[in-house]
Structure 1
Amino acid sequence: MSTYPKVNETKELIKELVSIPSPSGNTAKVIQFVEEYLNSLNVDTKRNRKGGLIATIPGKVENEHRMLTAHVDTLGAMVKEVKKNARLRLDLIGGFRYNSIEGEYCEIHTTTGKKYTGTILMHQTSVHVYKNAGEAERNQKNMEVRIDAKVKNADDVRELGIEVGDFVSFNPRIELTENGFIKSRHLDDKASVAILLQLIKRIKEESITLPYTTHFLISNNEEIGYGGNSNITPETVEYLAVDMGAMGDGQSTDEYTVSICVKDASGPYHYELRKHLVRLAEENNIGYKLDIYPYYGSDASAAIRSGYDIVHGLIGPGIDSSHAFERTHEDSLKETENLLYHYVQSKMISI
């Protein structure tokens, strides 16, 4: 099996990526980071009109293409209302629940470029004042942002430049443990982005000539459903999304192997491509799990819904507590990267 000598480098890259705020709709800075990383490797890139980034590595065969994608946008929020009590009501970006951000530190990003820190709290937080502090529902009505500024009313807040429509990002709180765990918000899907960037670097460093021209789409609207549904060349035959594997009751996915998705909320993924990925894993002693994600959709399923005539698949590192306080292990990063390494050098499936 091909070794993976640079897992610590991958973890540091994940740390850099999750530290750049990028809720869906406000991803320019992180796209610029990825663009500069790829340009340093002399990889051709271009931006699409949605703000995503496409890197292309020419292959031996130019009339049949592959596309791999991972998304750099994350969950987040917008200011819904500047409240009379000088706090902010939020509107969520992406599919998650208010309870998963209770007590979280955040940043408010104004349209003028200023940033203010704050904390997301229940309005009824103080047990010394609110009898139902533990019983009130965690929802848009009850949760609010306490701004770290001397403000007493809505006018004071607006004088800071904070207004409806400003983006709110969540503190990732990343921690790399000595025994190989990576704990952070936004491992969905910045862990996969880091894996793809390391894969591209590896291809360049080892002077590998790919069998097919291969595109790498770093999408920026996946969390809201349409990140990878465009900019797919007519020559593209296989489209592989690299996104987190979801863990929980009844799931096979774990934090130590690569998860190969057989079906999600959009339906089954391409059967022959799935079998091809399994064969590659078994031939190269790569630890993997097959799984179904019942409440999940990927950029690959978005591309299928958009009408593209492609073979689609989905793999990724196993992520615990998705869309909340996420965690994975370096073993899952290794296995995912190794499967991708062999996949991009393999022959396309016969259709």
Structure 2
Amino acid sequence: MASPSPKALPVDMDYLQDVMVRLLETHSPAGYTDQVVHMVCNELDALGIEHELTRRGAIRGNIQGSRRAPDRAVVAHVDTIGAMVQGLKDNGRLSLVAIGTWSSRFAEGARVTVFTDQGARTGTILPLKAAGHTFNEEVDSQPVDWDHVELRLDEIVYDRAGLEELGVAVGDFVGIDSLPRITPAGFVDARHLDDKAGVACLLAAVKAITESDVRLPLDCHPLFTISEEVGVGASAVLHQDVAEMVAIDTAPQAPGQESIESCVTIGIKDSSGPFDWHLTQRMLELARENEIRHVRDIFRHYRCDAAAALEAGNDLRTAVVCFGTDSTHGYERTHLKALQGVAELLTAYMQSPAVIARDSKPLGPAKGFPLQPVEEATEHPDTEHHDPEAAE
């Protein structure tokens, strides 16, 4: 008889919300993440978690377990979508290019911070035809793309020379203000929940583990990557002892998707291919046995840290656990129930044994290598079927 799954630990939701809001209020478009890296390091210090950084700032935490190899990792990314100054315009405004993949439709009206070499300056992204009193119906008929928006600084400047005097230059990073709000109904509205909410879930799960008397069965590495939104992800922060990795990310709630913003989503496949069957089954099992509300989903236009790790040549099992999110890469919304479920599921996973014991070695014989089920399904012994002949 199989042993019961580890029991999920209670999660400090006040801590999760506090750290999430502080993360959301800290700009970190991909390529400009140093400040948020220091913030996460400070949180790990406060939790007593040993950690180290790569040259560019990806973070690998270390929680010692009862044995080393195979190690496991849980990863979230601190970088977000954003923009960069592409040009200084003769009207004193700035043209932009996107960082990451997102629509200029969601940029229109966004409050922003521009990081110049001489300091930060605030502004607003506007469509080229923003004045309804001047352009009338043309404000609704103009194209939606990055060539049809511009950034208006909160400065008295109306020409290119004025921009240059302010120290604005091509290549300055533009952070999109998050404007987070947690409603009485438990919804979290903000830009950049992807993946600041995921980072908060991971930190809250680590806090629950460190404050318990639990001894983890395996070394576990909380990872925080800095360039997932531009496709790099967890490609450089792993080491060869890591045999399995769970990524935390957002799951789109939209027509054609199963994800719901008030519960956990366990991804089965994204645009890079299927996630590992065995590790995914483990996450589903842990969710069921801990009564964590969850759904399964497939993401057609989506990739996460796991894809970058595999593409970089890492031989490891991957899975993804998500919080359901409405309006992904826009003004996003999730629910505290989903975040709590993700964090609790992570605490159960960290306490679970290795998915495949044979994975302790990178190469070995076929003995111990697992099998996926191929036999015909059998009836459950308690299943009752309606027999029309018997009814007659």
- Indicate the percent of aligned positions where both proteins have the same amino acid: 34
Distance in structure 2 (CA, Å) of the matches to 1:259 and 1:167: 32
Match of 2:209 in 1: 203
Match of 2:82 in 1: 76
Q: CA deviation at 1:5?
A: 4.8
Match of 1:24 in 2: 30
Match of 2:50 in 1: 44
Task: State yes or no: 1:89 paired with 2:95.
Answer: yes
Q: Is the 8 A contact 1:253 1:290 kept in 2?
A: yes
Alignment of 1:100-249 (within 5 A): 100-112=106-118, 114-131=119-136, 132-249=138-255
* SS across alignment from 1:192: helix
Q: Is the 8 A contact 1:117 1:147 kept in 2?
A: yes
What TM-score, normalized to structure 1?
A: 0.97
Distance in structure 2 (CA, Å) of the matches to 1:59 and 1:233: 16
Task: State yes or no: 1:273 paired with 2:283.
Answer: no
Letter in 1 for 2:88: V
Q: Is the 8 A contact 1:243 1:315 kept in 2?
A: yes
Aligned residues: 350
Distance in structure 1 (CA, Å) of the matches to 2:237 and 2:30: 18
Deviations 1:52-94 (A, max 9, x none): 1111111111121001100000010000001000000001000
Distance in structure 1 (CA, Å) of the matches to 2:308 and 2:344: 26
Distance in structure 2 (CA, Å) of the matches to 1:33 and 1:325: 23
Distance in structure 2 (CA, Å) of the matches to 1:3 and 1:328: 22
* SS across alignment from 2:27: coil
Consecutive unaligned residues in structure 2, runs of 5 or more: 1-6, 357-369, 371-392
Q: Is the 8 A contact 1:183 1:326 kept in 2?
A: yes
Q: CA deviation at 1:345?
A: 0.5
Task: State yes or no: 1:304 paired with 2:305.
Answer: no
Q: CA deviation at 1:207?
A: 3.2
Match of 2:326 in 1: 320
Match of 2:12 in 1: 6
Larger Rg: 2
Q: CA deviation at 1:272?
A: 1.1
Distance in structure 2 (CA, Å) of the matches to 1:41 and 1:341: 15
Letter in 2 for 1:174: P
Letter in 2 for 1:164: V
Distance in structure 1 (CA, Å) of the matches to 2:217 and 2:63: 10
Q: Is the 8 A contact 1:123 1:143 kept in 2?
A: yes
Consecutive unaligned residues in structure 1, runs of 5 or more: none
Q: CA RMSD in A?
A: 1.2
Q: 1:119 to 1:228 in 2, by over 3 A?
A: same
Distance in structure 2 (CA, Å) of the matches to 1:150 and 1:46: 44
Distance in structure 1 (CA, Å) of the matches to 2:156 and 2:214: 57
Q: CA deviation at 1:235?
A: 1.0
Deviations 1:185-227 (A, max 9, x none): 0000000100111111111111321111111110000000002
Q: CA deviation at 1:339?
A: 0.9
What TM-score, normalized to structure 2?
A: 0.87
Distance in structure 2 (CA, Å) of the matches to 1:3 and 1:322: 29
Q: Is the 8 A contact 1:11 1:182 kept in 2?
A: no
Letter in 2 for 1:119: T
Q: CA deviation at 1:3?
A: 5.6
